[in-house]
Amino acid sequence: MPADKTAVTYVPGPTEAESYNTDGYLLPQRPLFTQDEFERLKAIFEEDARLYGPDDLDRIHFRDERLLEFLLSGTVLDIVEPLIGPNIGLWSSHFICKMPHVGRATPWHEDSAYWNGRASTMAGIITVWLAIDEATPENGCMRVLPGTHQDGFSQYEQVDTNANIFPTQILPGLIDESKAVYFALKPNHYSLHEARLIHGAQANTSDKRRCGYTMRYFPTTTHIYPERNPGHKLWLARGVDCGNNEFENA
């Protein structure tokens, strides 16, 4: 298949926006960046993974501002805007890497539960999950429980961090795995999910690495509490600030 040399514009329409609001996710099954852009982003990841290690790449754009080109690109923001509105803040980003055979499981969780108290509301925070490597059920692709994004604060229990990325998981009795949707993705393809959606990923038991880049955004009507986010940097990605936030580029 020939490489994509030009950007393929995709903007979610009313039907996709309604599906996102109902299910808490979208799975467009299309490339995000041009092939040249993607190869440049992947090269940045490989460099940062060598420099910092594959497990220390949370909020990596704080240390490597080259990533802001991708995080603040119109290609990404045009996709996000129909889902959260025209005034968009950059919340965070993270290269999440699961090495072959040793990648730990991501337990069932809501992103909102781990960010509780850091923002005035978790409603509207969105993650664009970009596949750096191919993501499959065998190497631990993300899976979600559709429509579970109405609360965002389930009951949790402790888990073994030797086998799991996070120290807690949603109580197993609250999870119906038969309803899980698996996000198998080609490199440069992506998914979108709401911060309150229940999701997770199994351990990587394959011979192939699985890396994804999470790009996270919030509507600027949300206020991010600076006193509860020490050292955390925000960028105004598009539009205007409606929530009295402290942006690096204000």
Provide the residue-wise pLDDT of the chain in tens; the chain has 250 residues: 333 444 557 899 999 999 999 999 999 999 999 999 999 999 999 999 999 999 999 999 999 999 999 999 999 999 999 999 999 999 999 999 999 998 789 999 999 999 999 999 999 999 999 999 999 999 999 999 999 999 999 999 999 998 998 999 999 999 999 999 999 999 999 999 999 999 999 999 999 999 999 999 999 999 999 999 999 999 999 999 999 999 999 7
Q: Is residue 245 part of a domain?
A: no
Q: Is residue 163 part of a domain?
A: yes
Q: Is residue 81 part of a domain?
A: yes
Q: Tell me 195's DSSP state.
A: T
Range of the domain at 169: 14-238
Q: Is residue 250 part of a domain?
A: no
The answer to whether the predicted template modeling score (pTM) of the entire model surpasses 0.85 is yes
What total number of domains does the chain contain?
1
The length of the chain, given as a count of residues: 250
Q: Is residue 243 part of a domain?
A: no
Q: Spell out the SS3 assignment of 200-249.
A: EECCCCCCCCEEEEEEEEEECCCCECHHHCCCCCCEEEECCCCCCCCCCC
Q: Is residue 77 part of a domain?
A: yes
Partnered with residue 73 across adjacent β-strands are: none
- In whole angstroms, what is the distance from residue 56 CA to residue 48 CA? 9
Angle made by CA atoms 167, 171, 172, in degrees to the nearest 5: 110
Q: What is the CATH number of the domain that holds 216?
A: 2.60.120.620
Q: Is residue 40 part of a domain?
A: yes
Q: Is residue 194 part of a domain?
A: yes
